[in-house]
Amino acid sequence: MFLTRSIRHKLVGMLAGVLVMLGLLAGGSVWGLMAYRSLVTSPSIDEREAGSAAEVLAAMTRLRLEFVPPETAASEHYDLDLDAKRIDEAVAACGRYRLRLEDFPQAVRYQNVIAWELLNELEPHLKGLRSQLSRPASKDVAALVNRVAYLERLASQLPVLPDPMKLRLKSARDTYQSGYELVVAGSLLAATLLIWMVTFGYRHVLQPIQALHQGARRVAQGDFDYRVPINSPDEVGELAEAFNLMTERFQEIASDLDGQVKARSQQLVRSERLASVGFLAAGVAHEINNPLTAIRWTSESLEQRLAELLADVNDDDASVVMRYLRMIQSESERCQEITRKLLDFSRSQDTQKSQCDVAAIVREVVALIGHMKKYQSAKLIFEVSGECRIEINGHEIKQVMLNLVANALDATDGCGTVQVQLVENVDDVELRISDNGCGMTLETIENLFQPFFTTKPTGEGTGLGLSISHRIVTDHGGGIEVHSDGLGLGSTFIVTLPRQQHASVQREAELSLQAH
Ligand code: ADP
């Protein structure tokens, strides 16, 4: 319970502990001093010689022996002062005896009830005797003598009192014993409290602060994975939690920045490559295209001519010649396809963007590809029936969708499932193309948009489709994201297109075209 309190409460608790400790020590000392004081100031110590039963008896005996009451009022030899003196001495002896009795502890006093009774009888008798002596006219001598003898008997019955010094010593010893026990217990408690306070203060105040300090140093050295291991529900715990949150945020920002730097560098490399490809494409494709067209035409016309000329030649030779001619035609066709793509890449046919129904474009692509023979056994799903108008270059976006859907179907070997979804957001539209095909490694994902990157067998892929698609989408101010959980786990491409084209994007697109 105490551990869940704030540091302020813990410090107040520790201060209370110190006060208890001081109180215990001070209480013990004061108690000891008081006991010592009561011992040294005890009246029995000064008057320990006085007030014994023997003294009272001696005083009474003296009184009886020397008591000479006057026969008559005019008795000449009667010494009143002497008798009065003896009576006073007896009264004083009784007084001291009483004093000692009173000074005894309660228990001892109760044990001496007889002493009290005797004293209470002796003292009034003595006083009565003295007053009788001062009035000699009314005295009865025999009665007086009997009275004195009676008083002596009473005095002889007084119990002998225990030695007050012994009693005092016993009580002092008891006091000392309990005082000793109290001081030992108090000191042990104070020492335990002190040890507890030091350990507690170290564990719950110093150690957490040290841990925080160490955490701050490690984070300052760039170790953003480090978390301060403090869970205490006090101020230091709150500080550690805030510190860990701050480190987490730092880590997010750092990894975000890393990601951005990586993406930007990749983009830069890609743009440079694309620019160089564009530059090459503009020159080479144009130069190669014309000879390729010539090769194709001449081989076609040669084929027609040879068909007549080879009529007399044996069938085997004729078929070899014709096969070679067709190979020349198909390979030059393929080369033309590549140069066409390169030219597409280097310049756009139509840079104008207008409000187009992107759903209709996707439907068109799905219908077109669905009719292709090699994808007959694949399942292609697109279930959007309404319209979705955004500002795009319809021709280019169609090219992008054709490329992405064809790639997805290729990844399933033409017999899997490809689903196209259209997600409308406030500012943009997402086209998601998911397949359950071969999936991709991390390396493939990283190189996907590089020109000429392909995993398809030679002659089947150019490796230009995705770089062209990427360029088109970024020219629209959008982006392409790729997700795949690994080989054999399918892939998803997400194309994001803004609903409206910003002037700056359009301008950039125009500038990039001019540059190419
Ligand atoms: P090409 O299709 O001519 O190879 P692309 O640029 O269109 O060129 O594609 C580059 C490479 O990206 C492909 O060779 C293929 O390895 C990979 N790829 C593209 N789409 C997918 C997909 N849906 N699943 C798996 N790999 C893909």
Largest alpha-carbon pair distance within the chain?
A: 208
Measured from the CA of 403, which atom of ligand 1 is nearest?
Answer: 7
Please work out whether the CB of residue 219 comes within 6 Å of at least one atom of ligand 1. Answer: no
Q: Look at residue 246 in the predicted model and tell me its pLDDT.
A: 92
Please work out whether the CB of residue 440 comes within 6 Å of at least one atom of ligand 1. Answer: yes
Please work out whether the CB of residue 234 comes within 6 Å of at least one atom of ligand 1. Answer: no
Return all residues near 212 (Cβ < 8 A) that are at least 6 apart.
228, 230, 236, 239, 240, 243
* Phi, psi for residue 424 in degrees, rounded to 5: -95, 120
Instruction: Please name the residue ranges forming H helices in 104-206.
Output: 106-111, 113-133, 141-156, 164-201
Rg of the chain in Å (alpha carbons): 62
Measured from the CA of 453, which atom of ligand 1 is nearest?
Answer: 10
Q: Which two tokens stand for residue 394?
A: 């319809």
Nearest CA to ligand 1 atom 13: 454
Task: Give the β-pairing of 417-424 and 379-381.
Answer: parallel
CA distance 331 to 59: 158
Measured from the CA of 448, which atom of ligand 1 is nearest?
Answer: 12
Question: Directed axis angle between helix 164-201 and helix 7-40, to 10°?
Answer: 170
Pocket test for ligand 1, best of 454, 467, 468, 495 (most atoms within 8 A of CB): 454
Q: Which two tokens stand for residue 475?
A: 């020219």
Q: Look at residue 516 in the predicted model and tell me its pLDDT.
A: 45
Q: Look at residue 100 in the predicted model and tell me its pLDDT.
A: 81
Nearest CA to ligand 1 atom 24: 411
Q: Look at residue 197 in the predicted model and tell me its pLDDT.
A: 84
Please work out whether the CB of residue 463 comes within 6 Å of at least one atom of ligand 1. Answer: yes
Low-confidence ranges of the chain (pLDDT < 50): 45, 48, 73, 349, 504, 513-516
Q: SS3 for 361?
A: helix
Q: Look at residue 405 in the predicted model and tell me its pLDDT.
A: 94
Q: SS3 for 321?
A: helix
Please work out whether the CB of residue 461 comes within 6 Å of at least one atom of ligand 1. Answer: yes
CA atoms within 13 A on the CB side of 121: 15
Nearest CA to ligand 1 atom 14: 454
Nearest CA to ligand 1 atom 12: 448
Please work out whether the CB of residue 462 comes within 6 Å of at least one atom of ligand 1. Answer: yes
Measured from the CA of 468, which atom of ligand 1 is nearest?
Answer: 6
Q: Look at residue 19 in the predicted model and tell me its pLDDT.
A: 86
The torsion of the CA quartet 282, 288, 293, 296, rounded to 10 degrees, works out to -140
Measured from the CA of 408, which atom of ligand 1 is nearest?
Answer: 23
Return all residues near 302 (Cβ < 8 A) that are at least 6 apart.
325
Q: Look at residue 82 in the predicted model and tell me its pLDDT.
A: 76
Pocket test for ligand 1, best of 344, 407, 436 (most atoms within 8 A of CB): 407
Query: Contact, 431 vs 401, CB < 8 A?
Result: yes
Residue 39: is it exposed, middle or buried by C-beta count within 10 angstroms (0-12/13-18/19+)?
A: middle
The 10 Å Cβ neighbour count of residue 212 is 16
Please work out whether the CB of residue 480 comes within 6 Å of at least one atom of ligand 1. Answer: no
Task: Give me the sign of the Cα torsion angle 169, 173, 178, 183.
Answer: positive
Measured in Å, residue 464 CA sits from the centre of ligand 1 at 9
Q: SS3 for 308?
A: helix
Measured from the CA of 454, which atom of ligand 1 is nearest?
Answer: 14
Query: Contact, 157 vs 118, CB < 8 A?
Result: yes
pLDDT of 39-92, one tens digit each?
666 655 455 455 788 888 999 898 888 776 666 545 555 667 777 888 889 999
Q: How far is CA 482 from CA 440, 469, 504, in A?
A: 10, 13, 26
Measured in Å, residue 269 CA sits from the centre of ligand 1 at 19
Q: Look at residue 417 in the predicted model and tell me its pLDDT.
A: 94
Choose among 467, 464, 496, 491: nearest CA to 480.
496
pLDDT of 480-491, one tens digit each?
999 999 999 999
